[in-house]
Amino acid sequence: MVGIGVVGYGYWGPNLVRNFFETPGARVAALAELDPARRALAERRHPGLKTTDDLDVLLADPAVDAVAIATPAATHHALGLRALQAGKHVWLEKPMTETSAQARELGVEAKKRDRVLLVDHTFIYTPAVRKMAELIDSGEIGDVYYVDSTRVNLGLFQRDVSVICDLAVHDFAIMDHLLKRKPRAVSANGVNHFPGTPENLAYVTLYYDGGTIGHVNVSWLAPVKVRQIVVGGSRRMIAYDDLQPSDKIKVYDRGVEMSDDPQRAREMRVGYRSGDMWSPQLGTTEALRIEGEHFVDCINNGTPALTGADFGLRMVQLIEAATASMHRKGETIYLQEEAAS
């Protein structure tokens, strides 16, 4: 049984505590939270839960094998490093760190101490994203031409991070998982409508070798909430709507076909294909449960973390590149291959 110590009981911490209480092979050994009101709430929800306002107490507890950190991004590096140096496995909320240098340091530390470091990019563990990856990996979609994502809503405005760091990072992670490769360049435009706060709207374009392109539209200023992704392939196309209660994924046998027939030299050489649409059956297990079980498996069996240190570093690098481009009015930023450990 893996004892989990959760750090932070604000926005996401309650989900982690609940999830680890329900994850086979895991138990919540302790909670560290500075706010006494939040600690009291956790104690009411989970009678018998050991709580403290002192991280050192949690890290010194022999019942704690791993630490799940659900605190603001600015604290991830320092808290993650302390947990690793205390010999604990670490679960870090996204983004992994504020800078790629910090992410590399955590990756090196985890490898040196032979500890699991998993970054909580929850969407990678959703049945819908897993099914999309399965369809692409099987060749069902053919060559991927583009991935277009819209992730907008009204709020929740953040004071410490931009909409790229808060929302677009989800799409960066999804595209990384679907395409199994890193973009070679990034271009972004964004705007801050309220002085003194981070950018609240952004458009990001990711360029991949082979002609594949990714586009991300993120905003805290939309009148409606939209969570949609379209994947265009040479054989079929996928439409994913995360807000649908069922049939979140629809696969369309639609597309275009180019002809090189010299007899049609004077005609438009594009043919349109319109076939059937079908919706694959998806699993119903909550993504956090899948991710929690994966974390336990990584600790117990040495399974490589699906969203480990290298994955987390790639996401931080994309945030940095997109932010740099945004601040330079869309200048193309080229990326280099690099590992966190």
Query: Do 75 and 132 share a domain, yes or no?
Result: no
Domain containing residue 95: CATH number: 3.40.50.720
- Taking each helix axis as running N to C, give the angle between helix 287-301 and helix 13-22, from 0 to 180 degrees, rounded to the nearest 10: 60
Strands 144-154 and 117-120: unpaired
Query: Do 129 and 226 share a domain, yes or no?
Result: yes
At residue 107, the pLDDT reads 98
Query: Do 143 and 292 share a domain, yes or no?
Result: no
Q: Is residue 75 part of a domain?
A: yes
Helices (H), 220-308: 287-301
Domain ranges, residue 190: 124-283+317-334
Q: Is residue 23 part of a domain?
A: yes
Sign for the pseudo-dihedral over CA of 311, 296, 127, 6:
negative
Query: Do 43 and 185 share a domain, yes or no?
Result: no
Number of structural domains (the chain) is 2
Beta bridge partners of 256: 272
d(CA 143, CA 139): 8
Query: Do 113 and 156 share a domain, yes or no?
Result: no
At residue 338, the pLDDT reads 63
Q: Is residue 80 part of a domain?
A: yes
Query: Do 240 and 212 share a domain, yes or no?
Result: yes
Neighbours of 236 (CB within 10 A): 22
Q: What is the pLDDT along the chain (341 residues), one digit of tens a residue?
A: 999 999 999 999 999 999 999 999 999 999 999 999 999 999 999 999 999 999 999 999 999 999 999 999 999 999 999 999 999 999 999 999 999 999 999 999 999 999 999 999 999 999 999 999 999 999 999 999 999 999 999 987 877 789 999 999 999 999 999 999 999 999 999 999 988 889 999 999 999 999 999 999 999 999 999 999 999 999 999 999 999 999 999 999 987 766 566 555 455 555 565 678 999 999 999 999 999 999 999 999 999 999 999 999 999 999 999 999 999 999 999 998 666 66
Q: What six digits make up the tokens of 192? A: 């801050």
Query: Do 177 and 95 share a domain, yes or no?
Result: no
Query: Do 279 and 292 share a domain, yes or no?
Result: no
DSSP-derived letter for residue 303 is P
Query: Do 205 and 279 share a domain, yes or no?
Result: yes
d(CA 124, CA 322): 21
Q: What six digits make up the tokens of 5? A: 């110590």
Q: Which residue has the tokens 């939309």?
A: 222
- For residue 144, the one-letter residue type is V
Q: What six digits make up the tokens of 136? A: 């692409």
Query: Do 256 and 134 share a domain, yes or no?
Result: yes
Domain containing residue 205: CATH number: 3.30.360.10
Q: Is residue 339 part of a domain?
A: no
Contacts 24+ apart (CB under 8 A), 19-24: 19/286, 19/288, 19/289, 19/292, 20/68, 20/292, 21/46, 22/289, 22/292, 23/289, 23/292, 23/293, 23/296, 24/293, 24/296
At residue 264, the pLDDT reads 54
At residue 137, the pLDDT reads 98
Q: Is residue 216 part of a domain?
A: yes
At residue 92, the pLDDT reads 98
Query: Do 83 and 228 share a domain, yes or no?
Result: no
Q: Is residue 341 part of a domain?
A: no
The pTM of this model reads 0.92
Query: Do 87 and 161 share a domain, yes or no?
Result: no
Q: Which residue, 82, 76, 79, 90, is CA-closest to 2? A: 90
Q: Is residue 272 part of a domain?
A: yes
Q: Is residue 189 part of a domain?
A: yes
Q: What six digits make up the tokens of 200? A: 């609240």
Neighbours of 314 (CB within 10 A): 24
